[in-house]
Structure 1
Amino acid sequence: MIRGNLVELRPVTAEDMERLYVWRNDEEVATWAAGSSFVTYSIVSLDTLRTMYEEALRTSKLDDKLNQFIFSVYTLDGVHIGNCDYRQVDPITRAATIGIGILAKEYWSKGYGTDTLHALLRFLFLKMNLNRVQLDTWSGNTRAIRAYEKCGFVLEGRLRQNEYIDGQYHDTILMGLLREDYLQIK
């Protein structure tokens, strides 16, 4: 378990799948979490999520959780509020891609996303000894972009009009954080 000031990052359990099913099928939550991937993200059955969970368990055992891992995000008083992950770990460059979603609406804009990022980054940089972490989002997701910037991420690229959300085009925002920068702001 990885602990922050507001959250704990725990391995995903089968019980988490039922809440994830509700969140992924909530149009507002799914739009913020998935951007233009909304359709494939949200239209998913509980059985499919359970199968994905079982596959993730099997895969993580095979690769010893070094290349990818999904965490459930819980408040310190035990409320499941979202998930985060790392994936595509490159052992040569010591880089990884991350994702985060505070999916319980009542926990939005209260610091839980930033705390989740801090806890995940501390683990990746100080325990896994990574040198670089990157992520992407869509330009309309200003709440997420603010949280990323608070944690030290910088804009590294923009894919113009690469997302299509609610009838409008948005840019894909690419952000990165280096270990040396993380250590300065930590």
Structure 2
Amino acid sequence: MISGKKVELRPVSLEDHKRTYHWRNDKETATFDAGSGYYRYSHMPLEQIEASYEKDIRTIDRREVGEFSIYTKGEDARHIGSIGYRSLDIIARRCVVGIGIGEKELWGKGYGTDALKALLHYLFHTMNLKRVQLDTWSGNARAIRAYEKCGFVIEGRLRNDAYIDGKYYDTIVMGILREEFEFNR
């Protein structure tokens, strides 16, 4: 288990994976989580989500991908989102991360920032990575602010790269180096 100040990152259980059904079928949550990938991410029947657990979670190659459930801390701990890394390159010592808080009433309360900081600590200190990157769409201002709080900087912009709700948005590419994370702690 990876621990932050407000959250714990736990291995994904089948019940956690099934809980994403509600988040994936809520238009607002799914749009912020998946951006222009909304059409692939949302409108999934529960049976399909259950069936994907074996392929997507239980049998992933941990040398390249890590998936975690985000839980609040305390006696009334609850599953509130997901976080993970992918595209791990152990030679260049880098990866790409992604995060989503599914419980809307907890948006803007620091849970995502805390989860991301906990994962970054793990990636930089336990896995000895040098660089972590992520991307989001330019309309996701709340996420961009949270990423900047963690020390990420905007490294690039792919113009009109995301198409969401009838409008084009830029894809914002952000990165953080280990020494920048240490400075921002």
Q: Deviation of residue 95 (structure 1)?
A: 0.4
C-alpha separation between the residues in 2 aligned to 1:84 and 1:176? 16
* Matches for 1:9-158 after TM superposition, within 5 Å: 9-60=9-60, 63=61, 65-77=62-74, 78-158=77-157
Name the count of aligned residue pairs. 183
> What TM-score does the superposition give when structure 2 sets the normalisation length?
0.95
Letter in 1 for 2:5: N
Q: Deviation of residue 167 (structure 1)?
A: 1.3
Runs (4+) of structure 1 moved beyond 4 Å? none
Letter in 2 for 1:29: T
Q: Identity across aligned pairs (percent)? A: 57
C-alpha separation between the residues in 2 aligned to 1:5 and 1:76? 8
Q: Deviation of residue 131 (structure 1)?
A: 0.4
Contact 1:17 1:46 in 2 (8 A): no
Root-mean-square deviation (CA, aligned residues, Å) is: 1.0
5+ residue gaps, structure 2: none
> What TM-score does the superposition give when structure 1 sets the normalisation length?
0.95
* Matches for 1:156-175 after TM superposition, within 5 Å: 156-175=155-174
C-alpha separation between the residues in 1 aligned to 2:133 and 2:27? 26
Q: Deviation of residue 146 (structure 1)?
A: 0.2
Task: String of CA shifts for 1:62-102, please: whole Å, max 9, x gaps.
Answer: x3x22111100000031110000101100110000000001
5+ residue gaps, structure 1: none
